[in-house]
Structure 1
Amino acid sequence: MTSDPDAPLLTIEDLRPVARWAADCAERALPIFEAKAPDDTRPREAIAASRAFADSGMRTAALRKIAWAAHAAAREAGDPAAAAAARAACAAAATAYTHPIASSHQVNHILGPAAYAAQAIALSAGEAGHGEAEIHWAIAQASPEVRHVVQRMPERAPGKGQLGALFLQLEIGLRR
């Protein structure tokens, strides 16, 4: 297959299915955050914004602001599992801003919602096996479009610790 060297690596239309998948992944961890901060709606709003973008919404300053608000919720959570769940929501909303450049750092933006959700679930359950099960779920839910986006990007550098292992497992699964 020959590709057009002038074609962008990623387009807005490439990012829409990624945003939908990201929202699905982040939403699975949302109850962990909401159990610790039931009155804080910022992560839920970030997931809704990711879905709106996936459904032909625009990349706007409001979307970016909602993503940053979920990031702030993660910093304020006071609980590692809740913070990871809020980071998953932040990353889901920020998926719309993945840069169309061949950078292993950009792969982190694509994989982040699923990896952080898996981390939240593992921390909440107190065992790594739950995180691995969540990664398997995320891989199974990824559409061919999501897999194709990941496969077009360079491989990310291996990370350290449990989160790094979750990212690696996710990336390997999506590149198959």
Structure 2
Amino acid sequence: MGWNTAVLFVRDRSFEDVLTIVDAATAVAGAQVGEDEAISGSSFDEVYLGRDGRWTVLWDPNQIHVLEAVGQASPGIPPACAVPGTSVLAAVFSSVSGIYGFWLYDDAEAVRHTMFQDGAPIKDLGRPLDVEVGQPVPDWGPDEDYLWAVITSVTGIVNRAERRFTTYSVR
């Protein structure tokens, strides 16, 4: 079974800063959960925040808040994740619809945005990252492994480490 989730990585920012980016500044902290639950939670009104080194990580299993932060929900409006003084990486894993892609911002500037649906490119903005050039793409197109190679290259974070995340209710 494939992944259906979105994630936001923000360097050197607090949980509160990241919740502001995803328009959830009034979110209420709840229970601690493992990474599996953070990636695949089923509640529409929860996101999950954790830290890994310099990066704050927000998992959004319903792909609502991260897609709004990158401007997918409101085309033409500057994305909330274009934050001065830091790097922001967002990724969407949607095996149900066959969509995989990522956005990379550095000091509020869009550096890279690439998106694939059923293996075919549907967005390709910015110069490909070195990791993209060297990463093999399966016949069916980019998938979870491909996105994790990008995430690891940009953030140094590896897939499925044993991190704990705080649940935040975003009602």
Q: TM-score range by the shorter chain?
A: 0.3 to 0.5
- TM-score between both structures, scaled by the size of structure 2: 0.35
- TM-score between both structures, scaled by the size of structure 1: 0.34
Select the structure that is richer in strand. Answer: 2
